[in-house]
A = this chain, B = another copy of it.
Amino acid sequence: MTTYRARLSLSLLIATLLTGLNTQAQTPAPAIPDAIASDPIRLGWMVGSPPPPDKIINFASGNFYSFPRFRWSFSHTRQLGPTTQVARGTGAISVLPKAERKDLDSVSFKVLGSDKTLTWGEAFNTNYTDGVVVLHKGKIVYEKYAGALTAEGQHVAHSVTKSFFGTIGQMLVADGTLNENALVAEYVPELKDTGFGNATVRQVLDMTTGIQYSENYADPKAEVWEHIRAGGVLPRPPGYAGPKSFYEFLQTVKAQGAHGEAFAYKTVNSDALGWIIARATGKSVGDNLTERIWRKLGAEQDAFFSVDSVGTEFAGGGLNTGLRDLARFGEMMRLNGKFNGQQIIPEAVVADIRKGANKDHFAKAGYKNLPGASYRNMWWVLHNEHGAYAARGVHGQTVYIDPKADMVIARYASYPQAANAFNDPTSLPAFDALAKHFIAHP
Interface residues of A (CB under 8 A from B): 46, 49-51, 56, 58-60, 76, 78-85, 87-90, 92-93, 151-154, 245, 247, 275, 278-279, 284, 295, 300-302, 304, 307, 309-312, 324
Q: Which of A51, A58, A284, A312 has the most CB of B within 10 A?
A: A58
Q: How far is the CA of A431 from the CA of B186 in the complex (A)?
A: 54
Chain B residues contacting A302 (CB-CB under 8 Å) are: 301-302
List the 4 closest pairs (A to B, CB-CB), nearest first. A49-B278, A87-B152, A50-B310, A46-B311
Choice from B56, B78, B80, B152 contacting A89 with Cβ under 8 Å: B152
Chain B residues contacting A85 (CB-CB under 8 Å) are: 78, 153-154
Choice from B78, B80, B82, B88 contacting A301 with Cβ under 8 Å: B88
Choice from B49, B82, B311 contacting A279 with Cβ under 8 Å: B49
Chain B residues contacting A275 (CB-CB under 8 Å) are: 49
Given A79-B84, A84-B78, A90-B300 in contact, is the A49-B247 Cβ separation under 8 Å? yes
Chain B residues contacting A90 (CB-CB under 8 Å) are: 151-152, 300, 324
A152 CB → nearest B CB, Å: 4
Q: How far is the CA of A50 from the CA of B247 in the complex (A)?
A: 8
Chain B residues contacting A79 (CB-CB under 8 Å) are: 82-84, 307, 311
Q: How far is the CA of A76 from the CA of B82 in the complex (A)?
A: 10
Q: How far is the CA of A335 from the CA of B394 in the complex (A)?
A: 48
Q: How far is the CA of A343 from the CA of B87 in the complex (A)?
A: 29
Chain B residues contacting A78 (CB-CB under 8 Å) are: 78, 82-85, 304
10 residue pairs of the A-B complex, CB under 8 angstroms, read: A49-B275, A49-B278, A51-B311, A58-B82, A76-B84, A78-B83, A78-B304, A81-B82, A87-B152, A90-B151
Having A50-B312, A85-B154, A302-B302, one finds 13 other A-B pairs with CB under 8 Å, namely A49-B275, A49-B279, A50-B245, A51-B310, A56-B310, A58-B309, A60-B309, A76-B84, A78-B78, A79-B84, A81-B81, A87-B153, A88-B301
Q: How far is the CA of A284 from the CA of B284 in the complex (A)?
A: 34
Q: How far is the CA of A363 from the CA of B96 in the complex (A)?
A: 55
